[in-house]
Chain A
Amino acid sequence: MTFNSSVRFFLKVGSVITNRTILFSLTLLLWASLSAAQPPVDSSTAGLFNTPPPDVTPVAPRNLVVMDNPNDAGHAVIITWDSSIDDHPGGKVTAYKILRSQNKESGFAKVAEVPAGSQQYIDNDAADNIPYYYKIMAVNSSRQAGQLLWQVSSETDIFGPVESKPQWFDMRRLNVFIGMIILCGLIIFYINQAKSGKKLFIRKIAGLDAVDEAVGRATEMGKKIFFIPGTSDMDNVQTIAGITILGRVAQLAAEYETWIEVPVSRSLVMVTAKEIVKEAYTKAGRPDSFRDEQVHYLTDDQFGYAAGIDGMVVREKPATIFFMGNFYAESLILSETGNSIGAIQIAGTGQPSQLPFFVAACDYTLIGEELFAASAYLSREPKLLGSLKGQDIGKAIILVAIIVGILLESFNLFQLSNYFKVIG
């Protein structure tokens, strides 16, 4: 090889090497830039190395319906669909994905994934008055040790736009509303009748007729009267009903100059009861006879309260005990102790489960509604008695509805009972 031919050979080899190096470098650069441009890998598709087996793609669900969730405060859209025909045990559907977008053409993002078999989803993350588009994706996927192997899916058509809106009336409660209007109308009507001077017949309530006798007995025996207003606070209507009776009993006790004592289990009840007893003494013309310690607090604790009253009953042996208000398990503990010392006992509660205990242990028991009627019955005030009459007419209407309902149900007609269904 001459010098010149040798030089040409090296130049040729060098040029080939240089071209290959440039080509290799360009390939590397291209790969690196492509890698950098790829989106971050979704963890749910990480390890998606296997190609799915043939014929595993599920059929999309049908009849997609999307609407504003009714009777709510907004921020909710209800999505319902008929299951995919492949959605059955061992079928091709493993889950449904709910996708949402504000744009019909693009931007759909997953808002939820529900298991196969689901046919409804409430999107509680929707903003009010914003149009949304939805579609449902039937998904079939395979996992191994938590790792997604493959995933296939099919989608419904896009449904929308749908806007979430808050409602001004809960239509599910329409029956309650109508019932309330009728009942309140009746009560107000009879209150007005009573105010106009019409005489109303109110049936006798033995337990309330016995109040005078019970207070009188304590007076004759020279012993105390205990008034127990239950273990609930002033937010319970039974406590309020009990407290209204306290006013009448305290006034009688003040007139007869008999000591009435009111141990309570709630501070707010104590404050209210103190005011009522004080007022009753004033009404009876004996404001000086009222003593602050007549109404006193014991404890908020249910059984501590029962123990406290039991101790007082056993030591002080009152002639008369009133139990008026809301009671739980302590009802029998209290009333049996009172019974054991021979006190005349009048009880009243709206707790159906405690009524048998009071019936067994007390001389008189105001059953349910009688507790709420007591204030009107004792005062004989026409306006209050009118409300009792309205309440009784309401009861008569319900009675008729029950009888008609029984007859209809007996003939497999359930329409009437549906009107009386109440949601919580």
Chain B
Amino acid sequence: MRREVPLIITAVVGVIFVIQYFIPHAPFNQFNSWFSDWFAIIGACAIWLGALNLMRISADKIYRRRSGWGYAAIIIASFLLIATIGFAGGSQFRDPGTGFDWLYTWVYSPLSATMFALLAFFVASASYRAFRARNLEATLLLLAAFFVMIGRVPVGDAIGSFIHLPESLMPSKITIWIMGFINSAGQRAIMIGIALGIVSTSLRIILGIERSYLGGD
């Protein structure tokens, strides 16, 4: 029963989800929002599982003085601080001027922005490796990247005008052509493959052939 019940639930819900796409008649037209609501409720309840797991693992790390236990202490302190201030703020905890809002604006947002900003440096280092002209493919990639980058900035067309390039060969036009034809064609090919993969995976799950997500056969 431990295997059969989840498999039956998965199959029934999967089939309902498929047919609700084709049937606009009630109650099928409401299944999508019902299941979304249920998932949101289950997810909201499950957040406590995650939070408790984080606290337990971090506390255990501190207790056993494992390497990096200082970070675990910071996790617990930060968690308790923001949870306490949030709960103390009551239902209006997110309003401007509250302690939670202050932490969100002056601590959380800058930290998130910092992590996001790191992406620029990682893009630079990854591009440096990817664009080395080691073989034909890498050279084509390098050329495509060069034209796309130069075509995205005003100086690209300025250079084109300076050397009297025809309008159709301006870097911005080449960029549009590369993105609109070569890039779109490649992306669409990948997306068709992904769509087929999703259909196949979903069918395997609905039919109960794929059971790995339940922990095995």
Contact = CB atoms under 8 A, between A and B. Distances in A.
Interface of A: 71-74, 166-170, 173, 176-177, 180, 183-184, 187-188, 191, 233, 235, 237, 240-241, 243-244, 247-248, 264, 266-268, 270-272, 275-276, 278-280, 283, 293, 296-304, 306-307, 311, 315-316, 329, 332-333, 336-337, 339, 350, 352, 355-357, 359-361, 367-373, 375-376, 379, 383-384, 387-388, 390-391, 394-395, 398
Interface in B180-217: 187, 190-194, 196-205, 207, 209-210, 212-216
B67 interface: yes
B116 interface: yes
B70 to A, nearest CB: 11
A278 B116 contact: no
Contact of B126 (A74, A241, A332, A379): A332
B5 interface: no
A266 B196 contact: no
Interface of B is mostly: helix
Contact of B53 (A170, A235, A296, A356): A296
Given A332-B119, A369-B196, A276 B213 contact: yes
B97 interface: no
A333 B122 contact: yes
B213 A372 contact: no
Contact of A352 (B25, B123, B194, B216): B194
A336 B213 CA distance: 29
Task: Find the residue from B24, B25, B191 having the highest chain A CB count within 10 A.
Answer: B24
Interface in B15-63: 18, 21-26, 29, 39, 42-43, 46-51, 53-54, 57, 60
A369 B193 contact: yes
A235 B41 CA distance: 13
A191 B3 CA distance: 21
Given A173-B22, A233-B43, A267-B50, A187 B122 contact: no
B142 to A, nearest CB: 12
B125 interface: yes
Given A166-B26, A307-B115, A297 B200 contact: no
Nearest to B115: A303
A387 B71 contact: no
Contacts of A267: 43, 46-51, 53
Nearest to A173: B22
A243 B26 CA distance: 34
Given A191-B209, A243-B213, A387 B21 contact: no
B11 to A, nearest CB: 14
A375 B43 contact: no
A384 to B, nearest CB: 6
5 contacts: A278-B215, A279-B216, A297-B51, A333-B122, A336-B122
Nearest to A283: B216
B50 A169 contact: no
B112 interface: yes
Contacts of A176: 21-22
A303 B203 contact: no
Top 9 A-B pairs, shortest CB-CB distance = A372-B197, A279-B215, A267-B50, A369-B193, A244-B212, A297-B50, A303-B115, A369-B197, A267-B46
B54 A296 contact: yes
Interface residues of B, number: 61
B50 A300 contact: yes
B179 interface: no
A357 B216 contact: no
Given A270-B50, A303-B116, A391-B200, A244 B213 contact: yes
Nearest to A240: B213
A237 B198 contact: yes
B118 interface: yes
B190 A368 contact: yes
A338 to B, nearest CB: 11
A237 B202 CA distance: 8
Task: Find the residue from A352, A367, A395 having the highest chain B CB count within 10 A.
Answer: A352
A280 B198 contact: no
Contact of B190 (A72, A244, A355, A373): A355
A410 B199 CA distance: 31
Nearest to A340: B125
B68 to A, nearest CB: 6
Nearest to A184: B203
B123 A332 contact: yes
B129 interface: yes
Contacts of B84: none
Nearest to A351: B194
Given A332-B122, A368-B190, A395 B196 contact: yes
A402 B198 CA distance: 20
A391 B197 contact: yes
A356 B24 CA distance: 39
B130 interface: yes
Contacts of A74: 25-26
A359 B127 CA distance: 11
B199 A183 contact: yes
Given A169-B22, A173-B21, 9 more contacts: A267-B46, A280-B216, A297-B50, A297-B54, A301-B112, A303-B116, A315-B68, A384-B210, A395-B196
B24 A394 contact: no
A165 to B, nearest CB: 9
Contact of B193 (A235, A333, A390, A395): A395
Contact of A271 (B23, B49, B111, B116): B49
B118 to A, nearest CB: 6
A117 B130 CA distance: 55
Nearest to B118: A333
A352 B191 contact: yes
A268 B196 contact: no
B209 A71 contact: no
